[in-house]
Structure 1
């Protein structure tokens, strides 16, 4: 049986296992250093949960909800072992929690962002740790869930605080209305500026991308 456990401190006994899992699944530039997790975990708006199986961390997810924009963001979803139903468990628990967060704020979510690797552009497909986390598998699963690709060239600042531009990803969006064909470019720009406000070093490519978004009306949503 899986249990859903929130981590709100690096002193949580399950945090070392979570951080180790992050380093197994994601490339180094995508993983925040151990000690730098201290402040984010204290932020009540950042929700970090692990899936526990017999007391062991076997999966994890991080997400947040922005009531002023009526959008959520999935930072990551990790499946640490196959054949335990971890992905479905995390998806449903996150859905229920986000519904509660939206209701508590008196808003209704219009959808959820996620950064999605494009394995057809990426030079290295080998990261992922276990087969369910292979970038090709992840992208296909997210497509089945309903995520779409926002049609603009996407980069993001590296989480190692080096200020490098990370490419080979798409910015995806899971619309609450499956018929939605486009998203406000200003909303996307505002979201990105808010989401990456904690990173002081941002590459020029990212700044140019956000500036370009602010000159546009909307961005098309395309299939993954």
Structure 2
């Protein structure tokens, strides 16, 4: 498989990736085709696809915030079973991320991810691809080291209609020698990250603002098992 970075919607593999996203994700999780033009040119946004025999069979998007020393996994898509796409994407993504952190002279504190709560997202078929099943995804992320942050999570819809999406948990995977022993992270780190990450969406629901305001009143947020 080839690990290919997409930096322009004119890339012939972008159309395949966007169609794959529409197949496996619900509409509120998918940014409109034309709205990708600017984000793809942002050097801090890393969009890669796995190409097998000329076709996009998987994809991942992630970013690193040097000022906070945290990363965010935007999405990971496995389009076919039996090709080892998941391990391939995780390995290559980690290599690229750590190289990016090193070039910036930083130290990675951890990585955020929005993780489907399978008990709230049961109606999503995710394109019929079994590795994308929310129960499977959650277990895989737990094995990678992600844990759930102790908060009632809500995020703005990527359809930019101001709707509140409440089918996910916000997870965090600590990095470093003491990652397994880390029990909590600063609430301020979470609120700053969320305000930065969702700055691109001007139309956010009141529930999101309430959640961020509550985080700003807290000191630490516990890391719980997925």
TM-score (norm 1): 0.98
More helix per residue: 1 or 2? Answer: 2
1:204 to 181, 206, 226: 206
| Native 8 Å contact 1:119 1:125 kept in 2 | no
Is the contact between residue 48 and residue 63 of structure 1 (CA under 8 Å) also seen in structure 2?
Answer: yes
Displacement, 1:123?
Answer: 4.8
Distance 1:207 1:51, change over 3 A: same
| CA shift for structure 1 position 172 | 0.2
Specify every segment of 5 or more residues in structure 1 that has no aligned partner in the other structure, as ranges.
none
- Counterparts of 1:43-122 in structure 2 under 5 Å? 43-122=42-121
The superposition leaves residues 5-56 of structure 1 with CA deviations (integer Å, 9 ceiling, x where unpaired) of: 0000000010110000000110001000111111111111100000001111
* Aligned: 1:136 with 2:138: no
> Structure 1 residue 58: deviation in Å?
0.4
Q: Distance in 2 between matches of 1:115 and 1:37?
A: 20
- 1:121 CA displacement: 2.5
SS in 1 for 2:73: strand
Question: What SS does the aligned partner of 1:186 have?
Answer: helix
CA distance in 2, matches of 1:201, 1:170: 21
Root-mean-square deviation over aligned CA pairs:
0.8
Partner Cα separation in structure 2 for residue 127 and residue 74 of structure 1: 18
Write the deviation string for residues 86-117 of structure 1: whole angstroms up to 9, x where unpaired: 00000000000110111111111011000000
Q: 1:88 to 1:18 in 2, by over 3 A?
A: same
Aligned to 2:173: 174
1:152 aligns with 2:151: yes
Shift of 1:204: 0.1
Distance in 2 between residues matched to 1:49 and 1:79, nearest whole Å: 12
Q: How does 1:10-49 map to 2 (within 5 A)?
A: 10-49=9-48
Count of aligned pairs between the two proteins: 223
Quick one: distance in 1 between partners of 2:196 and 2:182? Answer: 23
Q: Deviations over 1:158-179 (max 9, x none)?
A: 0001010000210000111121
Contact 1:151 1:220 in 2 (8 A): yes
Deviation at 1:125, TM superposition (A): 3.7
